[in-house]
Structure 1
């Protein structure tokens, strides 16, 4: 997001008489990232959908759906804690340890080229245990951001970049928006059967030719998308049929409760946990070795002369005072605890558990930020699982508290990690840390309104989770919370979970070892997290991203990274932005089919409605008096019949 924000901000600034300075561009992309972080940090794609999936019969509590006001309150509760964590963490990982933060460094390089200033000095040392090696000896980073230093050191003049950038951005934006609007009127465009209608309807093998997905694949890079599609082939091509025909998952394939999709979810969860936890071991070891062991050795010895490179280069007036940090952390914890209590009440989570969630979020953010600085990957998924394990121990049996407290802890780690990339960019471009801090506060404040408004529009237009937005992480959060409460797993899933965890634990260890040795093949070792994401998403989500990854790989292979420039990133950004804007327009109003259905529902004859209500009342009465022996689940389904019944052209209810 930082690369796209810096690029688009620069292009827009060319419309004004006085373009923005490099430091202003840093602050601009800092605000943009802080605004865009909220949907992930506040759990709008995981925590809140998971609460909506609760089942009263199974979980003891009904589904929780937050109103607009409550969603704003929840966002305020977690919006600022990570911002106040950032300044002290910056001092540690950017100034003292000088970690690489590859995406932040790449953004600094891009800004330096766009604004025609000397490229920033990135020849900092990166500590690995007791070694200090030069930056050019580092292992090649994962392809989350597909632009590296070589991409942006020998680019064209900024005027040419601006002219060609506008052209590439406009046509890619228009193409993506046009395809999205076409799918709005002709939904079949975004659901193309790959191997016939049977496999498409029964086994979910469809292809979504979304330019936004392709653009995301370009940004992610070929190695990551390849790992994702390998996981998709194993999950949906092997394990899904195996679980179905072995009667381990007898329900419909797409059912998350007793279908193959819900069965392979547990395998995905085991892979993500194993990969994330093993990846944290080198970070924990380094913290122990460099801070505790080496610190103990130095006790009693003469003070060492500290390298000048390790000193803060900013004057105090440009730094964030520590008293701001202390008061901000205390205030954000108090405010967050109060707001969480107001939104969810004592039945949801106890205030003391919320406070522990913030504290644990601060501790986990240290691990997440260090992993991000080393590998460009923030293992928040594994950190979130650690928090769920902790809260299952201190507040057992409460699924809602487990999800909420885990979300509070993960929010701090997610937000601190994303903002640390921007602080690395600012450090290299010599932007004011205090100005960036204010920018982060502004972006976080704006994101509360932007995110809740967007979420409200999307939930009104779509079912979330649903076919268009499956929100797979919601099932991960809820599934682990249920597992920690009652320990019940689908048939035969535990054996596959154990085997998968062992295999990908070893793969993660091999990847960490190869990365620390700077091996050329590091990026080709499958990423366990990306592999597991291939399980969570249906094939349509992964295949389009693979196309983008292949485009990125072939483009750079043919053109050469030293000559390719940033045109491909511009095009990918246009693809993503075009569909995003078109989707927001679609969300603001219902589709023609939805509008017709709503009009028909409003025009239903009153007699039909009263007859329906009378039948419902008789059914509920007979059930309550034991005259009908039906499971509770069927009763709930019957009660929702009115919402899901179809309506013919005459306004009659067809059940």
Structure 2
């Protein structure tokens, strides 16, 4: 499955997503034999045998690693690339080391299979995915007093500050419901409708290829490449730390394009993380980010800043939502909503159309017992084999229904105690509609590879927030409802992706379900713990301009305030600008879909353009440099770039991401870097020299 772009730009990044499967996966496709003919001599282990102790040990270690990576990205810009390749690759590597060591000692009892590899990948991505759906960079942290004081002074008393215990409890209550919601639909989605789930299919091809002799050799080379760049990225993060003794110090604040450009958030900050992200994200995403930064920080914000004293008071703090900050946040919200609603109705339309088409042509689809009608298409050996295994280990529907009802009842009872503003009947209404919405998201994801989890969450903010009203805690109610809805629809589509991956690797649906449940349980503990470490270690977490500005916490808080208070919270003329940018996002999407695909791929993505509106273009420059590296590499040696590009990118991301663990521990221990490296203009430097001279 592809939890890949777990970010507020996820749908749009997937929209421009390029299928860059590694050459090892392509090698399997190019063989004359069918995939299952290659593995025909291998016995498929029973579903319980696929759930090994070593698999979950490796999954736990990788989950901690990936949770740090996802959390760092979530708290900086919200753009998170695909980590599926890294999860599958590192899982394969660690288990191979494990089995080789046991084999030499004569203690190996179970060989490493592609089904076990699928279990690891599923567990790791499910666990690290909670770092996104848990809302640590959006709705959950948006409830905090730190964000409320900056962006929502009118509702400054309506807060719920983070606490490790209630965050873990909240995630355990809401994160499992979506799993039970789609279990009864697994056969319809995978066997009857034969939905493609491009990400799940690509992941399955990757895992299948690892377990061929040629793929295993390439995988070892890819792991070595990942290790080299992991080491470089980690050591580079360690080196940079020495120069960050104060605010605004270090390479992160290097005015590489000049001091004036630096003031407008245009600079390269030497982040290996976002160079790696840029190598994974499609070119159009990176270009869209840069265009959005140029449009906002290069033209729009300087023009609005010139209206200081006219459109907004000149004497209020820059962080106030009634100053320039308000325009940044609400115009970004307008673009996000315009793009999100367009894509919601587009995917919903395609979902309903596809569903109608599937039902109309039901007789041409394989039936469960393996027989076929006169109108049925001939079923290949691969499909026969996969269908047989997939239908062998059934998950009883009564189990799924009972699990859904029990967890829903627990949620309805416990959530109002966590969030008194979120009444029990709000939750009941959400849970009555959740199975339908979860099905729509899972079905649409199967057709288009888009998960609209964040869009459903935004709808919950406005519906529940408006229902509760500003006088009855609508802001907190809307944000909490967003968390409930996002977790349901996100896990529903993720599990169905896993079922597709398991179908193509002959992993049992039961092992997929259990692996997803265990991974989700891991994530419900690991992700809040990692966030708590960030929260305690970095006192300026969530402050604009800091190392971790958490931009989407402010955006989600702004949405909640807008949903409960209406347009009264907007600064002067902001509403007209919001209307314009909302319409522009829709028009750009219409044009992009209307023109021929060869031209449409050059039209920027509105959601990606909106991301730098609030935080600046520095990370977009990093990502464009990553794109440039990959582009040159592909021109020089495309086969090599296709095979090792994802490994290089993953190494850069993982190394810098895991450096946050020791840096957080150093911050908690009170260990400060020894050097502050700052950059001053010539005039300022002369003043400093004059002041320091005796």
TM-score over 0.5 (shorter chain): yes
* 2:339 is the alignment partner of 1:339: no
Q: For the Cα contact (< 8 Å) 1:114–1:158, is it kept in 2?
A: yes
Structure 1 equivalent of residue 426 of structure 2: 353
Partner in structure 2 of residue 473 of structure 1: 552
The superposition leaves residues 256-298 of structure 1 with CA deviations (integer Å, 9 ceiling, x where unpaired) of 6244343122222111212122123233224444546986999
Counterpart of 1:209 in 2: which secondary structure? coil
**Is 1:264 aligned with 2:264?**
no
* CA shift in 2, pair 1:229/1:379, >3 Å: farther
Match of residue 191, structure 1, among 238, 253, 256: 253
Would the alpha carbon gap of residues 372 and 23 (structure 1) be closer, same or farther in structure 2, given more than 3 Å must change?
same
- Relative to structure 1, the CA distance from residue 252 to residue 179 in structure 2 (aligned partners, 3 Å threshold; closer, same or farther) is farther
Aligned-pair CA distance for 1:88: 3.5
**Secondary structure in 2 aligned to 1:349?**
coil
| Partner Cα separation in structure 1 for residue 547 and residue 458 of structure 2 | 26
Match of 1:285 in 2: 349
Equivalence for 1:578: 655
> Residues 396 and 190 from structure 1, CA distance in 2 versus in 1: closer, same or farther, beyond 3 angstroms?
same
Q: What is aligned with 2:617?
A: 539
Greater mean alpha carbon deviation, residues 169-178 or residues 241-250: 241-250
Is 1:232 equivalent to 2:293 in the alignment?
A: yes
Residues 1:395 and 1:293: Cα distance change in structure 2 (over 3 Å): farther
Distance 1:238 1:251 in 2: 23
Distance of 1:30 and 1:297 partners within structure 2? 32
In structure 2, the partner of 1:529 is 607
Matches within 5 A, 1:154-233: 157-187=214-244, 188-197=250-259, 199-200=261-262, 202-233=263-294
Distance (Å, rounded) in 1 between the aligned partners of 2:138 and 2:443: 24
Alignment of 1:98-497 (within 5 A): 98-116=194-212, 157-187=214-244, 188-197=250-259, 199-200=261-262, 202-247=263-308, 248=311, 250=314, 255=319, 257-291=321-355, 305=375, 307=377, 312-314=387-389, 316-344=391-419, 346=420, 348-397=421-470, 398-462=474-538, 463-466=540-543, 467-487=546-566, 488=568, 489-497=570-578
CA distance in 1, matches of 2:494, 2:359: 29
Aligned residue in 2 for 1:645: none
The superposition leaves residues 49-79 of structure 1 with CA deviations (integer Å, 9 ceiling, x where unpaired) of 1001234851163431132111111111222
2:667 counterpart SS class = coil
Distance, in Å, in 2 between the alignment partners of 1:251 and 1:375 is: 49
- Work out the CA distance in 1 between the residues paired with 2:441 and 2:528: 26
CA–CA distance in 1 between the matches of 2:320 and 2:123?
37
Looking at structure 2, the residues matched to 294 and 568 of structure 1 have their Cα atoms a distance apart, in angstroms, of 38
1:240/1:60 CA distance change after superposition, 3 Å:
closer
Secondary structure, counterpart of 2:195 in structure 1: coil
Matched, 1:73 2:169: yes
Deviation at 1:363, TM superposition (A): 3.3
C-alpha separation in 1, matches of 2:157 and 2:670 = 34
2:323 and 2:571 in contact (8 A); partners too: no
Mapped to 1, the partners of 2:217 and 2:389 lie a distance apart of: 34
Tell me what 1:2 maps to.
Answer: 84
Offset of residue 306 of structure 1: 5.3
The CA distance in 1 between the partners of 2:441 and 2:555, in whole Å, is: 19
Q: Tell me by how many angstroms 1:592 deviates.
A: 8.1
Contact kept in structure 1, 2:475 and 2:564, CA below 8 Å: yes
Question: How far does the alpha carbon of each residue in 1:485-513 deviate from its partner, in whole angstroms, 9 at most, with x for none?
Answer: 22221222222221222222122223344
* Residues 257 and 268 in structure 2, CA contact (< 8 A), matched pair in contact too: no
Q: Tell me how many residue pairs correspond in the alignment.
A: 548
1:359-403 deviation digits (Å, cap 9, x = unpaired): 444433333333433333323332222222221343222111011
Q: Distance in 1 between matches of 2:89 and 2:449?
A: 20
1:600-643 CA-partner distances (Å, limit 9, x unpaired): xxxxxxxxxxxxxxxxxxxxxxxxxxxxxxxxxxxxxxxxxxxx
- The 3 A distance-change label for structure 1 pair 431 and 256 is farther
Check the 8 A contact 1:221/1:553 in 2, yes or no: no
Using a 3 Å threshold, how does the CA distance of structure 1 residues 190 and 592 change in structure 2: closer, same or farther?
farther
Match of 1:552 among 605, 609, 630: 630
Using the alignment, how far apart are the partners of 2:95 and 2:117 within structure 1?
9
**DSSP 3-state at the match of 2:98:** coil
Aligned counterparts of 2:86 and 2:633: Cα–Cα separation in 1 = 19
CA distance in 2, matches of 1:351, 1:555: 56
The DSSP-based 3-state class of the residue aligned with 2:450 is: coil
Distance 2:377 2:461 in 1: 41
DSSP-derived class of the 1:520 partner: helix
Query: How far apart, CA to CA, are the structure 1 residues paired with 2:130 and 2:647?
Result: 24
- Bigger shift: residues 379-388 or 458-467: 379-388
Aligned residues of 1:365 and 1:417 also touching (Cα < 8 A): yes
SS of the aligned residue for 2:148 comes to: coil
Let me know the Cα RMSD of the aligned residues: 2.9
The worse-fitting range, judged by mean Cα deviation, of 432-441 and 466-475 is 466-475
Distance 1:307 1:254, change over 3 A: farther
Quote the Cα distance in structure 1 between the aligned partners of 2:342 and 2:165: 40
What residue ranges of structure 1 are gaps of 5+ in the alignment? Answer: 118-156, 598-655
Contact 2:127–2:522 at 8 Å: present in 1 too?
yes
Mark the CA change 1:99 to 1:80 in structure 2 (over 3 Å): closer, same or farther: same
Does the 8 Å contact 2:242/2:673 carry over to 1? no
In 2, the alpha carbon distance for the partners of 1:549 and 1:165 equals 20
What is the rounded CA distance, in whole Å, between the counterparts of 2:315 and 2:405 in structure 1?
A: 49
Q: 2:208–2:505: 8 Å Cα contact kept in structure 1?
A: yes
Deviations 1:87-115 (A, max 9, x none): 23433433333233222222122112211
Residues 267 and 618 in structure 2, CA contact (< 8 A), matched pair in contact too: yes
Q: Is the 8 A contact 2:537 2:667 kept in 1?
A: yes
